[in-house]
């Protein structure tokens, strides 16, 4: 009895997959097929799968070639499976040629010829055309967006808009580094060439640009803070909903796998009832940058407040909250450091942020049975621990955070624009609306709240 094993994602199941499975089955008496989980596919850079795992398994089953189907969810699993299932032959398409030499001392490794001219990627392209995203603003974060968008093949960035077209140093630098992107003279030109916009302009312009883009029928991914009042944020979501458009606020932590896991675990009861949340994000910012020169919208909280607020709203919700600020201001009235306190009934939370002060960038979520510690930089969540009374008790969790982490929000934008559901929970409308309200109250009271 010869056992053969093969693995795949099998998204948008096609003839190439069918033929591979048929030939793999013919190599022995029993074929085991490992179907890759979304999470593991994600880790391997496949961030834009269309079919959920149930459907991918169903399709493999329907092919009639699999005697057994297993789930593949981690690196190194092939080694375990080969021993566990007494596998004689590992078969895989020859696009993987040479990649599985490390299995050769355990079983025979056979690379099967890949069927030409068909792939899940091509099918995705024909089913869903490329998403063309125009960028508004050409500063630091726009460059980061370009690098991260490069990891998602289904996205193109044809153009960039900066109103200071001919005398913007940042635009000149952006175009020099991203030669495939054209500058456009007007927003209308940008809208003509795109399906969606990424708004990376100065804070106070976010709302205006987002509104114009939505009115022009474009999906919007808007840098944080998206708006400075509840009314503004609500208005944007109303326009988006009325026109069936996606509107997302770009707080990258919200979309990254580690943070999503952290929030689920905090809510799961493992640390008991939540009693306190402490988040901190400081980044010493050199003088001369917008954070210091924009006297109305600069400072620490407008720059970093979205991050420190995020775990608080994810865990406390957005209803029945009370909050206040204490800030240390510089001679221009900008906060070099701000402490935000939020309470809901008897649960208290605090967030600290600073562009002119340095502290430990930790997130601590305390509960009645234990606490979660996420060490700096917690906003790039890759590792966290549950700890308790016993100093030797440590439960460890890890997750991926690739590159600069923006690729996760870009992948989610694409996913939602394509009409799939199930990722909206990562940053909900009411959470963005609530944060806009907090930003509004901060700006109104910045001077009065100074220490």
Instruction: Give me the phi and psi of 331, to 5 degrees please.
Output: -65, -20
Q: What residues are paired with 322 via a beta bridge?
A: 343
Structure tokens at 294: 């924009």
Q: What DSSP string runs through 312-343?
A: HHHHH-SSS-EEEEEEEE-TTS-EEEEEEEEE
- Residue choice 30, 55, 114, 420 for contact with ligand C2G (CB under 6 A): 114
Q: How far is the CB of 63 from ligand C2G (least distance, A)?
A: 11
- Residue choice 51, 72, 88, 437 for contact with ligand C2G (CB under 6 A): 72
Q: How far is the CB of 6 from ligand C2G (least distance, A)?
A: 6
Count of residues engaged in binding ligand C2G, rule: CB under 6 A: 18
Q: What residues are paired with 365 via a beta bridge?
A: 277, 372
Fill in the per-residue mask, 308 to 347: x = in contact with ligand C2G (CB under 6 A), - = not in contact: ----------------------------------------
Q: How far is the CB of 16 from ligand C2G (least distance, A)?
A: 3
Burial of 420 (0-12, 13-18, 19+ CB in 10 A): middle
- CA distances 175 to 69, 145, 158, Å, are 49, 14, 12
Q: For residues 361 and 349, what is the distance between their CA atoms, to the nearest angstrom?
A: 15
Instruction: Give me the phi and psi of 119, to 5 degrees please.
Output: -160, 160
Residues between 21 and 40 with contacts to ligand C2G, criterion CB under 6 A: 36
Q: Using CA atoms in the order 410, 415, 417, 421, what is the torsion angle rounded to 10 degrees?
A: -130
If one asks whether residue 92 binds ligand C2G (CB under 6 A), the answer comes out as yes
If one asks whether residue 43 binds ligand C2G (CB under 6 A), the answer comes out as no
| For ligand C2G, the closer CB: 120 or 156 | 120
CA angle 71, 75, 79 (to 5 degrees): 80
Residues between 348 and 407 with contacts to ligand C2G, criterion CB under 6 A: none
| For ligand C2G, the closer CB: 7 or 145 | 7
If one asks whether residue 57 binds ligand C2G (CB under 6 A), the answer comes out as no
If one asks whether residue 438 binds ligand C2G (CB under 6 A), the answer comes out as no
| For ligand C2G, the closer CB: 118 or 275 | 118
Question: Residue 181: left if φ>0, alpha if ψ -120 to 50, beta else—which one?
Answer: beta
Among 121, 196, 127, 122, which residue's Cα sits nearest to residue 158? Answer: 196
- Residue choice 63, 115, 330, 441 for contact with ligand C2G (CB under 6 A): 115
DSSP assigned state of 294? -
| For ligand C2G, the closer CB: 9 or 245 | 9
Instruction: Give me the phi and psi of 229, to 5 degrees please.
Output: -160, 155
| For ligand C2G, the closer CB: 74 or 267 | 74
| For ligand C2G, the closer CB: 111 or 397 | 111
Q: For residues 437 and 441, what is the distance between their CA atoms, to the nearest angstrom?
A: 6
If one asks whether residue 93 binds ligand C2G (CB under 6 A), the answer comes out as yes
Structure tokens at 194: 């795109």
Residue with tokens 């900008």: 334
Residues between 2 and 21 with contacts to ligand C2G, criterion CB under 6 A: 7-11, 16-17, 20
| For ligand C2G, the closer CB: 81 or 195 | 81
- CA distances 146 to 198, 255, 411, Å, are 10, 18, 13
| For ligand C2G, the closer CB: 92 or 157 | 92
- Residue choice 63, 108, 119, 418 for contact with ligand C2G (CB under 6 A): 119
Fill in the per-residue mask, 173 to 212: x = in contact with ligand C2G (CB under 6 A), - = not in contact: ----------------------------------------
Q: Where are the beta strands (DSSP E) in 37-107?
A: 68-72, 89-93
If one asks whether residue 95 binds ligand C2G (CB under 6 A), the answer comes out as yes
Q: How far is the CB of 85 from ligand C2G (least distance, A)?
A: 15
| For ligand C2G, the closer CB: 11 or 291 | 11
DSSP assigned state of 450? B
Query: What residue is closest to ligand C2G based on CB?
Result: 93
CB count within 10 Å of CB 282 equals 21
| Contacting positions for ligand C2G (CB under 6 A) | 7-11, 16-17, 20, 36, 72, 92-93, 95, 114-115, 118-120
């Amino acid at each position: 009895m010869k056992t053969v094993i093969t693995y795949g994602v099998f998204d948008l199941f096609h003839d190439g997959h069918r033929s591979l499975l048929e030939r793999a089955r013919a190599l022995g008496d029993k074929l085991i097929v490992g179907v890759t989980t979304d999470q593991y596919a994600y880790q391997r850079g496949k961030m834009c799968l269309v079919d959920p795992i149930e459907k991918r398994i169903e399709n493999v089953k329907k092919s009639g070639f699999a005697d057994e189907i297993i789930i593949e969810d981690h690196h190194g699993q092939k080694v375990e499976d080969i021993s566990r299932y007494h596998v004689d032959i590992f078969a895989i398409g020859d696009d993987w040629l040479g990649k599985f030499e490390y299995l050769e001392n355990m079983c025979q490794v056979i690379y099967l010829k890949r069927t030409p001219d068909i792939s899940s990627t091509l099918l995705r392209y024909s089913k869903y055309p490329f998403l063309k995203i125009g960028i508004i603003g050409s500063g630091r974060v726009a460059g980061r967006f370009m690098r991260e968008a490069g990891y998602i093949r289904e996205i193109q960035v044809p153009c960039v808009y900066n109103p200071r077209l001919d005398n913007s140093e940042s635009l000149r630098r952006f175009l020099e580094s991203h030669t495939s992107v054209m500058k456009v003279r007007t927003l209308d030109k940008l809208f003509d060439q795109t399906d969606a916009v990424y708004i990376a302009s100065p804070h106070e312009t976010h709302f205006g640009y987002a509104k114009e883009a939505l009115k022009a029928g474009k999906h919007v991914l808007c840098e944080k803070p998206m708006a400075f009042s509840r009314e503004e944020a609500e208005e944007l979501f109303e326009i988006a909903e009325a026109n069936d458009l996606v509107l997302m606020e770009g707080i990258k932590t919200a979309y990254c796998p580690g943070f999503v896991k952290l929030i689920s675990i905090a809510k799961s009861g493992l640390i008991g009832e939540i009693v306190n949340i402490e988040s901190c994000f400081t980044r010493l910012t050199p003088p001369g940058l917008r954070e210091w020169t924009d006297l109305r919208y600069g400072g620490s909280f407008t720059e970093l407040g979205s991050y420190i607020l995020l775990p608080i709203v994810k865990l406390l919700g957005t209803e029945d909250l009370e909050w206040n600020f204490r800030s240390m201001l510089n001679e221009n009235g900008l906060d070099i450091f701000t402490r935000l306190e939020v309470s809901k009934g008897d649960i208290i939370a605090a967030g600290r942020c600073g562009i002119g002060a340095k502290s430990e960038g930790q997130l601590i979520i305390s509960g009645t049975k234990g606490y979660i510690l996420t060490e700096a930089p917690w906003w790039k969540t890759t590792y966290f621990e549950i700890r308790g009374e016993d100093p030797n008790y440590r439960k460890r969790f890890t997750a991926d955070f690739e590159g600069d982490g923006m690729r996760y929000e870009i992948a989610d934008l694409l996913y939602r624009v394509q009409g799939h559901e199930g990722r909206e929970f990562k940053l909900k409308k009411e959470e963005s609306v609530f944060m806009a309200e907090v930003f509004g109250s901060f700006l109104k009271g910045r001077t009065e709240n100074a220490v």
